[in-house]
């Protein structure tokens, strides 16, 4: 039976952290079962792990191609492991799957975090000797738990993470096969080919998105969040609210709400941000061959921020994720705040070393979809992306009660000038008249471009001709910056609305655009008269 994960990416550490992988060149059943016990105990709430037999390792990394196992030994190894798993207290049975990699057969043992942990594993192969210990993972090492770690393990085991809990008020048919198959296809899992021959219940068990006895087989929260048509039925406000403000007063704004499976929400909002919000500026520098390029916001920083927000928010909370796009910054807020020991002071100081995670299963799925990186790396990636783009440092904040998590991404300094942010700075320097003049010049230029486009589109015009008219190249960035805002405000309309990418697509002014153009014309006459 295939595993619901891409094996090549598993072996490369792409979708599962190295600390959750244990490579063994040969079979040592007792050592293997103790590692299974440690992953099942999942003291760090990472979601369990994988034991791979038939692959040698060096410094915790696999040596490929794999050495492999003799086909005649595989059945014997599986029986030995299963027999020892009977001795785990309480009994625990992982998923064991022979897999062929580069012409060699290896055994991949998938060990989800146990539902009735903590577990004890035997310290001897002699059955019935009564000598069992708690085992845990310490980094990439399996070790017996110390007395302090035993207490910590028992306390942690008393709380099953919310995303991994069974949902008693849901039915198995609330999970949708097409959504599951789409996920398996995207991650490249061999389980996709077998899904047609499995019963739906077997597939859900294999995915670990449902659990329970046959008479009360129910979805887990993780399954409903990712593979139901409408997660909001079970999780109020499991959505992303995006608001774009036209100015700092907040009175003039447009709102867009993203719903559906949470991974689809994330993908949809990223497409929107990439097409509508992100813009590139190219500056020619005298005497330098290459132009200086900068984005108002680096896409990588926004992507990682939103992925982290989906990952770390609480789905027990009835507050949506909020994205507020202001003229000079993007604010992304989720509820509640970080888990201890992270607090306001550590967050503001950038001292981000997280060990506890609110939604371990969501993190695994997002990694498989390449929508986020490893645990504890998100904030570093956001900072790095902002620095590479030449943007100011991002801000991370919460309150004393850890009731929210706020990320602020300031706009690139070059783009502040375009929206007149420098007016106030210059005024503080005692050069108020010059500062106001700069702001007016920027505003006038923006209005003039709108006026020229609307006037030109009294007859339907192609995108490339419109942008050429205002002296710009025909590319997506310039379209997003100059043409799409006029469409969004209903001042322009496409001539082939049902086929946005039609080669015959043109744009023409609307009656609303005509009315707006007249107001701009009056303003232009007044300025000329003054």
Task: For residue range 74-113, list pLDDT tens digits in order.
Answer: 999 999 999 888 899 988 888 898 999 999 999 999 898 8
Structure token pair of residue 313: 């928010």
CA–CA separation, 338 vs 446, rounded Å? Answer: 41
pLDDT at residue number 373: 61
Q: Is the pLDDT score of 117 beyond 50?
A: yes
Q: Where is average pLDDT lowest: 198-207, 287-296, 377-386? A: 287-296
140 and 286 housed in the same domain: no
Q: Is the pLDDT score of 302 beyond 60?
A: yes
Q: Which residue has the higher pLDDT, 424 or 136?
A: 136
Q: How many domains does the chain have?
A: 4
User: Looking at residue 339, which CATH number applies to its domain?
Assistant: 3.30.565.60
pLDDT at residue number 176: 95
180 and 143 housed in the same domain: no
> For residues 100-137, b (16+ Cβ closer than 10 Å) or e, as one string?
ebeeebbbbbbbbbbbebbbbbbeeeeeeeeebebbbb
**Residue 529 φ/ψ, nearest 5 degrees:** -70, -30
- Averaged pLDDT for residues 361-370: 84
Q: Which residue has the higher pLDDT, 325 or 422?
A: 325
Q: Is the pLDDT score of 380 beyond 70?
A: yes
**Of 411, 435, 462, which marks where a domain is finished?**
411
227 and 172 housed in the same domain: yes
Mean pLDDT of all residues belonging to the chain: 83
132 and 195 housed in the same domain: no
Residue 416 placed within a domain: no
Q: Is the pLDDT score of 439 beyond 70?
A: no
Residue 417 placed within a domain: no
176 and 269 housed in the same domain: no
What percent of the chain stands above pLDDT 70?
A: 86
150 and 280 housed in the same domain: no
Other Cβ atoms within 10 Å of 360 Cβ, number? 22
Reported confidence tier of residue 352, pLDDT bands at 50, 70, 90: low
Q: Is the pLDDT score of 427 beyond 80?
A: no
pLDDT at residue number 421: 35
- For the chain, how big is the Rg over CA atoms in Å? 28
403 and 496 housed in the same domain: no
Q: Where is average pLDDT lowest: 31-40, 331-340, 341-350, 422-431? A: 422-431
Residue 359 placed within a domain: yes
pLDDT at residue number 330: 95
Reported confidence tier of residue 376, pLDDT bands at 50, 70, 90: low
pLDDT at residue number 266: 94
Region of 114 (left: φ > 0; alpha: ψ -120 to 50; beta: rest) is beta
Q: Is the pLDDT score of 438 beyond 60?
A: no
Q: Is the pLDDT score of 522 beyond 70?
A: no
Q: Is the pLDDT score of 375 beyond 70?
A: no
| CA-based nearest residue to 54, from 95, 79, 22 | 22
pLDDT at residue number 521: 65
Question: Which residues, 6+ apart, have CB-to-CB distance to 67 below 8 Å?
Answer: 25, 54, 55, 56, 104
pLDDT at residue number 227: 96
- Averaged pLDDT for residues 161-186: 91
Question: Which residues, 6+ apart, have CB-to-CB distance to 33 below 8 Å?
Answer: 81, 84, 85, 87, 88, 121, 122
Residue 373 placed within a domain: yes
392 and 271 housed in the same domain: yes
pLDDT at residue number 178: 93
Q: Where is average pLDDT lowest: 24-28, 75-79, 343-347? A: 343-347
């Amino acid at each position: 039976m295939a595993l619901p994960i891409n094996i090549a990416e598993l072996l490369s550490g792409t979708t599962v952290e190295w600390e959750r992988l244990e490579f063994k060149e040969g079979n040592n059943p007792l050592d293997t079962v103790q590692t299974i016990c440690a992953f099942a105990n999942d003291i760090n709430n990472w979601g369990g792990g994988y034991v791979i037999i038939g692959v040698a390792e060096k410094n915790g990394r696999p040596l490929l191609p794999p050495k492999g196992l003799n086909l005649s030994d595989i059945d014997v190894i599986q029986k030995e492991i299963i027999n020892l798993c009977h001795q785990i207290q309480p009994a625990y049975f992982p998923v064991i799957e022979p897999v062929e990699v580069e012409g060699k057969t290896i055994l991949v043992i998938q060990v989800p975090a146990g539902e009735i942990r903590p577990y004890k594993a035997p310290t001897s192969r002699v059955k019935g000797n009564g000598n069992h210990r708690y085992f845990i993972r310490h980094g990439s090492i399996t070790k017996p738990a110390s007395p302090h770690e035993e207490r910590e393990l028992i306390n942690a085991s008393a709380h099953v993470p919310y995303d991994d809990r069974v949902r008693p008020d849901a039915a198995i048919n609330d999970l949708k096969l097409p959504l599951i198959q789409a996920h398996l296809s995207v991650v490249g899992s061999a389980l996709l080919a077998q899904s047609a021959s499995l019963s739906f219940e077997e597939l859900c068990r294999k995915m670990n998105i449902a659990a329970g006895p046959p008479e009360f087989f129910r979805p887990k929260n993780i399954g409903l969040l990712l593979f139901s048509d409408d997660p909001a039925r079970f999780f109020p406000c499991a959505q992303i609210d995006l608001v774009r403000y036209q100015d700092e007063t907040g009175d003039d704004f447009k709102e867009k709400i993203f719903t559906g499976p949470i991974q689809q929400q994330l993908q949809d909002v990223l497409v929107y941000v990439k097409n509508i919000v992100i813009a590139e500026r190219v500056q020619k520098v005298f005497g330098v061959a290459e132009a200086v390029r900068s984005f108002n916001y680096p896409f990588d920083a926004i992507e990682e921020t939103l992925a982290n927000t989906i990952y770390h928010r609480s789905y027990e909370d009835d507050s949506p994720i909020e994205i507020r796009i202001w003229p000079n910054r993007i604010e992304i807020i989720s509820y509640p705040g970080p888990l201890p020991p992270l607090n306001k002071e550590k967050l503001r100081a950038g001292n981000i070393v997280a060990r506890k995670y609110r939604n371990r299963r969501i993190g695994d799925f997002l990694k498989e979809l390449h929508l986020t990186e490893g645990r504890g790396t998100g904030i570093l990636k956001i900072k790095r992306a902002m620095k590479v783009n030449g943007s100011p440092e991002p801000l991370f904040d919460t309150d004393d009660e850890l009731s929210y998590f706020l990320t602020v991404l300031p706009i690139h300094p070059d783009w502040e000038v375009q929206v007149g942010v420098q007016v106030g700075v210059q005024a503080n320097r005692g050069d108020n008249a010059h500062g106001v003049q700069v702001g007016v010049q920027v505003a006038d230029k923006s209005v003039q471009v709108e006026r020229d486009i609307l006037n030109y589109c009294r007859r339907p015009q192609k995108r490339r001709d419109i942008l050429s008219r205002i002296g710009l190249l025909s590319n997506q960035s310039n379209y997003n910056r100059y043409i799409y805002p006029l469409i969004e405000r209903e001042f322009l309309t496409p001539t082939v609305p049902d086929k946005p990418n039609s080669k015959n697509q043109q744009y023409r002014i609307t009656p609303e655009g005509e009315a707006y153009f007249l107001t701009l014309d009056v303003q232009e006459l007044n300025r000329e008269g003054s």
